[in-house]
């Protein structure tokens, strides 16, 4: 028993009650921090997204800048804790799920050749340029490979959101970008696994690399080969479900395939995109897309703000870092744009340029690669800062250029 005296009153409370009350207070404080952090993120996303749209700038640019402003670099209102990082990843999952719902598999098949060439060249060129840049800076082979791998990365979520905002997801160049992004993710993550192994001092045989690649490709093929016929077979039953129940089915499918994609070594956003494409086969007959869109409209902006939260501007104070980062940015843009211009040249110069620009943003994917290299001690803080500047510039500038170059839906329609 614990006794308190003071202020003219006397109270006796069991010690267990006091301890549980202390734990409850601590829990409440943690919940308050969590909610305030989410409040600032959602508020900043709404305000800066709206202002950016009003100025004719893609909302995602405003949201990334909002994250930088409220994050550790400037106002320090929010830090990218585990909760926000997890919520941001969920936002990316539902963004790509929604993009998948607006994409027909047969449309991607029609641009398969261009998408494959764009993806392969969009990996080969940046990897070679980044590796050469690292050697020019007198880095070791493995460190230079990490820089090249950071240049290989493509944040399809950023480009997909800009295309979605503009209403051009059904345009041919957009289909090439999405198809190339799936292939890019498969090849890029295989490359990251190999380079990470080298950074840890491990040797990786050709058979192991082939196994990683085979699992990724096999997963994509399996989802599409099994999922599309299956959803068509159950279409009559799905049509009889209420909106709420069909929405639940869609969410289960999206999250399930996203989770399974991680088992295959792919990013969960690729699984979500595939799940969306599977369900796109029945969306015209079964209503659920509006509810998915409402959920995505809340979660996706969180993802873009958190990308900004993770950008530490404090490491960019060295003029040497800024100059090297700008050079690296130019190389990053050249690598992807060249991949688009050559890989999609059959579509014409303007369309192929759009494809290349659409592959430029590095976003959170570039951050992940750089963070892995820094944590493993393969790259130093200066190189990390240079990659960080490249990620920031490609993430912010590419959507602006894409919006300026991309045709409006009515101009993109074929002539009668």
pTM (2 d.p.): 0.76
pLDDT mean over 323-344: 95
Res. 24: pLDDT tops 80: no
Check residue 21 and give its pLDDT: 55
CB 155 within 8 A of CB 358: no
**pLDDT, greater one: 397 or 205:** 397
CATH of the domain at 269: 1.20.1530.20
* Mean pLDDT value of segment 267-289: 87
d(CA 353, CA 338): 8
DSSP 63: H
Task: Give, as one character, the DSSP assignment of residue 347.
Answer: G
Contact by Cβ (8 Å): 304, 158? yes
Q: Quick one: pLDDT band at residue 10, thresholds 50, 70, 90? A: very low
- Report the percent of the chain where pLDDT is more than 70: 88
pLDDT at 8 over 50: no
pLDDT at 259 over 90: yes
Classify residue 230: in a domain, yes or no.
yes
Tell me the pLDDT band of 315, cut-offs 50, 70 and 90.
confident
Kindly indicate the confidence band of residue 377, based on its pLDDT and cuts at 50, 70 and 90.
confident
Lowest mean pLDDT among 100-104, 145-149, 328-332: 100-104
The pLDDT of 104-124, averaged and rounded, is: 87
- Its domain, for residue 107, covers 98-289+315-409
Residue 27 resides in a domain: no
Report pLDDT digits (tens) over 180-203: 887 887 787 778 777 777 766 666
**147 in Cβ contact with 81 (< 8 Å):** no
Residue 11 has pLDDT above 80, yes or no: no
Residue 356 has pLDDT above 90, yes or no: yes
Distance of CA 179 to the CA centre of its chain: 15
Residue 96 has pLDDT above 60, yes or no: yes
Question: At CA 168, angle to CA 162 and CA 172, rounded to 5?
Answer: 115
**Residue 319: inside a domain:** yes
Answer yes or no: is 364 within a domain: yes
DSSP code of residue 284: T
The per-residue pLDDT for range 72-86, each reduced to its tens digit, is 989 999 998 889 989
Q: Which of 202-206, 357-361, 404-408 shows the highest mean pLDDT? A: 357-361
Q: Is residue 10 part of a domain?
A: no
In a domain, 275, yes or no: yes
3-class state of residue 249 by DSSP: helix
Q: Number of folded domains in the chain?
A: 1
pLDDT tens, position by position, 116-169: 999 999 999 999 999 999 999 888 888 888 889 889 878 777 888 888 888 888
Question: pLDDT category, 345, cuts 50, 70, 90?
Answer: very high
Interatomic CA distance for residues 189 and 262, integer angstroms:
11
| pLDDT recorded at residue 7 | 38
Q: Does any domain span residue 398?
A: yes
Assess if residue 302 is contained within a domain.
no
User: What is the mean pLDDT of the segment spanning 212-220?
Assistant: 84
Q: Residue 310, SS3?
A: coil
Residue 5: helix, strand or coil by DSSP?
strand
């Amino acid at each position: 028993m614990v006794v308190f005296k003071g202020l003219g009153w006397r109270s006796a409370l069991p010690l267990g009650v006091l301890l549980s009350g202390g734990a409850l207070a601590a829990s409440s404080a943690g919940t308050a921090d969590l909610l305030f952090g989410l409040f600032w993120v959602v508020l900043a996303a709404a305000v800066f997204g709206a202002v950016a749209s009003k100025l004719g700038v893609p909302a995602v640019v405003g949201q990334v800048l909002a994250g930088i402003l409220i994050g550790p670099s400037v106002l320090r209102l929010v830090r990218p804790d585990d909760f926000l990082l997890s919520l941001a990843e969920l936002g990316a999952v539902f963004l790509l799920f929604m993009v998948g719902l607006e994409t027909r598999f047969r449309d991607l098949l029609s641009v398969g050749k261009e998408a494959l060439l764009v993806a392969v060249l969009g990996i080969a060129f940046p990897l070679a340029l980044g590796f050469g840049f690292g050697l020019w800076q007198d880095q070791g082979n493995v460190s230079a490979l990490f820089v090249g791998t950071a240049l290989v990365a493509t944040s399809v979520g950023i480009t997909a959101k800009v295309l979605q905002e503009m209403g051009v997801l059904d345009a041919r160049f957009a289909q090439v970008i999405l198809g190339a992004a799936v292939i890019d993710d498969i090849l890029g993550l295989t490359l990251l696994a190999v380079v990470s192994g080298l950074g840890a001092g491990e040797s990786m045989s050709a058979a192991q690399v082939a196994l990683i690649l085979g699992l990724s490709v096999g997963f994509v093929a399996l989802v599409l080969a099994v999922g599309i016929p299956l959803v068509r077979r159950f279409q009559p039953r799905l049509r009889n479900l209420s909106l709420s129940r069909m929405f639940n089915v869609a969410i289960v499918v999206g999250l399930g395939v996203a989770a399974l994609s991680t088992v295959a070594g792919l990013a969960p956003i690729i699984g979500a995109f595939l799940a969306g494409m599977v369900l796109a086969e029945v969306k015209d007959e079964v209503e659920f897309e509006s509810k998915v869109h409402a959920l995505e409209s809340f979660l996706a902006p969180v993802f873009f703000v958190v990308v900004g939260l993770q950008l530490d501007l404090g490491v960019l104070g060295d003029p040497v870092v800024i100059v090297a980062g700008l050079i690296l940015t130019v190389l990053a843009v050249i690598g992807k744009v060249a991949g688009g211009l050559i890989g999609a040249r059959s579509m014409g110069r303007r369309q192929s340029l759009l494809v290349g620009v659409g592959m430029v943003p590095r976003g959170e994917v570039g951050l992940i690669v750089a963070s892995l290299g820094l944590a493993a001690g393969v790259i130093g803080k200066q190189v990390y800062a240079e990659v960080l500047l490249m990620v920031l510039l490609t993430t912010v500038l590419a959507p602006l250029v894409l919006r300026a170059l991309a045709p409006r839906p009515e101009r993109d329609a074929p002539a009668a």
